[in-house]
C-alpha cells in the first residue's frame, strides 16, 4: 500500500479509501490509484485491516464439525458456505473427530484468527470455555447437538421423534424383536435416538430387551461385528435400527456378507448416497442437513449483526424414506 501511495504521490489514507471504497474520492485520483494497484499487483492485507478496523470484523466464520468428510456435515457446510459467500464472508472448517481436545484446539485456532462467529457441533461436554469470547463479541451457534454449560442458539434434528417413527415403521410391519445399534452414549444424538427407540417400543407395548441394544459402535467395521453377534445369538432380532450413517453402511455390508439382506429388515438414521441403488434399497430416517445449515447460518449472521434476544432452540423434523429394506416382514420376504 505504501508503494502504491509512493508511485502516485498520494497519501496512504487516499489509497485506503480507494481500495476499501469507504469514502468518496475524486474520480481522477481514484483512477490513478487503481492503475497503480493493478500495475504493482498490490493485494490488500486482510489481517492488517482486521487488526486496525474499529469493528474488528474479519469477514471470516469458522465451522467445527465432527467430521467434514461425513456426508451429513458436508451438506451442512455447503449450506452455510452459500449464505456466507453472499455476504462476502469466508468459511473455514475443521473436524474434531469427536475428540474434545481437538474441538478446543480447532476453536482456539479459529478464534486466534479472529473469526466473527463460530458454528459448532460440540464433541466436548462443556463449552463454557467460549463464554469470554462471546462476551468479546464472537457469535456462537451450535448444530446437531446442544452445547454444555453455556446457553446459546442451537439447531438440531428431531432425533428422538425420527427414531421413534423409524422403529414404529418396523413394528407396524410386524417386527417384535428389533435390534438397535448406536454410537457412544456420551454422544447426545446417540442418547436421543436410543430414547426414541425406547419410546416406540413402549408405545407399542413391547418389552425392551437389553440384549437387543448395542451402543458404543461408530465405524462400519465395529457396527458390522455388533450386528453379526446379535444375529448369531439365540432368539435373534428380525429387524435392525442403525442409528447413524456409518453404522448403517457397516451393517448393510455385513448383512450382504451373511446373505441376510432380504431376510433382516433394516432402517437407518440419516441418508446415504446411492441408498436407492442397493438391493434392497436402504430405508432411512432422513435428516435435513441443508436446512440445518441454512438456519444456523441465518442465526449466526443475525447475531453477528448484533441481534439480541433469547437463545433459540430449533428442532428440524425428519422424514421416513421407505426403499425396501425397512419393509421386509419378519422372517424375510415370501
Partner DNA sequence: CTGAAAGCGCTTACAG
How many Å apart are CA 272 and CA 245, to the nearest integer?
A: 7
Instruction: Give the helix/strand (H/E) hosting 228.
Output: helix 220-232
DSSP conformational letter for 129 = G
* 26 interacts with, out of DNA, a copy of itself, none, CB within 5 to 8 A per kind: DNA
Question: 92 with 270: CB under 8 angstroms?
Answer: no
Question: 183 with 217: CB under 8 angstroms?
Answer: yes
Q: Which residues pair with 251 in a beta bridge?
A: none
Question: 143 with 120: CB under 8 angstroms?
Answer: yes
> Minimal distance in Å, beta carbon 315 to a copy of itself?
25
> Minimal distance in Å, beta carbon 42 to DNA?
7
What lies within 8 Å, CB to CB, of 21 at 6+ separation is none
DSSP conformational letter for 9 = T
Question: 160 with 195: CB under 8 angstroms?
Answer: yes
Q: Is position 40 an interface residue for DNA (rule: CB under 7 A)?
A: no
Judged by CB under 8 A, the residue of 5, 68, 213, 222 near a copy of itself is 68
Q: Is position 43 an interface residue for DNA (rule: CB under 7 A)?
A: yes
Judged by CB under 7 A, the residue of 24, 210, 259, 309 near DNA is 24
Q: Is position 138 an interface residue for DNA (rule: CB under 7 A)?
A: no
Site size toward a copy of itself, by CB under 8 A: 43
Q: Is position 57 an interface residue for a copy of itself (rule: CB under 8 A)?
A: no
> Minimal distance in Å, beta carbon 8 to a copy of itself?
19
* 252 interacts with, out of DNA, a copy of itself, none, CB within 5 to 8 A per kind: a copy of itself
Binding site for DNA (CB under 7 A): 1-2, 9-14, 16-17, 19-20, 22-26, 29-30, 42-45, 48-49, 51-55
Amino acid at each position: 500500500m505504501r508503494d502504491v501511495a509512493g508511485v502516485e504521490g498520494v497519501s496512504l489514507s487516499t489509497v485506503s479509501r480507494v481500495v476499501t471504497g469507504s469514502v468518496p474520492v475524486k474520480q481522477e485520483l481514484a483512477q490513478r490509484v487503481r492503475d497503480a494497484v493493478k500495475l504493482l499487483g498490490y493485494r490488500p492485507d486482510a489481517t492488517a485491516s482486521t487488526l486496525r478496523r474499529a469493528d474488528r470484523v474479519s469477514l471470516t466464520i469458522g465451522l467445527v464439525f465432527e467430521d467434514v468428510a461425513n456426508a451429513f456435515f458436508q451438506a451442512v457446510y455447503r449450506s452455510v458456505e452459500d449464505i456466507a459467500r453472499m455476504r462476502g464472508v469466508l468459511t473455514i472448517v475443521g473436524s474434531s473427530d469427536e475428540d474434545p481436545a481437538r474441538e478446543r484446539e480447532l476453536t482456539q485456532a479459529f478464534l486466534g484468527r479472529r473469526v466473527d462467529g463460530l458454528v459448532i457441533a460440540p464433541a466436548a461436554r462443556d463449552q463454557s470455555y467460549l463464554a469470554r469470547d462471546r462476551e468479546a463479541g464472537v457469535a456462537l451457534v451450535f448444530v446437531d447437538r446442544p452445547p454444555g454449560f453455556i446457553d446459546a442458539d442451537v439447531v438440531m434434528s428431531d432425533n428422538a421423534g425420527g427414531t421413534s417413527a423409524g422403529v414404529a415403521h418396523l413394528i407396524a410391519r410386524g417386527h417384535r424383536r428389533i435390534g438397535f445399534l448406536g454410537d457412544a452414549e456420551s454422544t447426545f444424538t446417540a442418547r436421543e435416538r436410543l430414547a426414541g427407540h425406547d419410546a416406540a417400543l413402549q408405545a407399542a407395548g413391547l418389552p425392551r430387551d437389553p440384549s437387543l441394544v448395542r451402543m458404543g459402535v461408530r465405524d462400519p467395521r465395529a457396527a458390522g461385528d455388533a450386528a453379526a453377534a446379535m444375529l448369531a445369538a439365540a432368539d435373534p432380532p428380525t429387524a435392525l435400527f442403525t442409528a447413524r450413517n456409518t453404522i448403517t453402511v457397516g451393517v448393510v455390508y455385513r448383512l450382504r456378507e451373511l446373505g441376510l439382506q432380504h431376510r433382516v429388515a433394516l432402517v437407518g438414521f440419516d441418508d446415504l448416497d446411492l441408498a436407492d441403488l442397493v438391493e434392497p434399497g436402504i430405508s432411512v430416517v432422513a435428516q435435513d442437513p441443508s436446512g440445518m445449515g441454512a438456519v444456523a447460518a441465518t442465526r449466526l449472521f443475525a447475531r453477528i449483526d448484533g441481534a439480541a434476544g433469547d437463545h433459540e432452540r430449533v428442532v428440524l423434523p425428519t422424514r421416513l424414506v421407505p426403499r425396501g429394506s425397512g419393509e421386509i416382514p419378519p422372517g424375510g420376504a415370501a
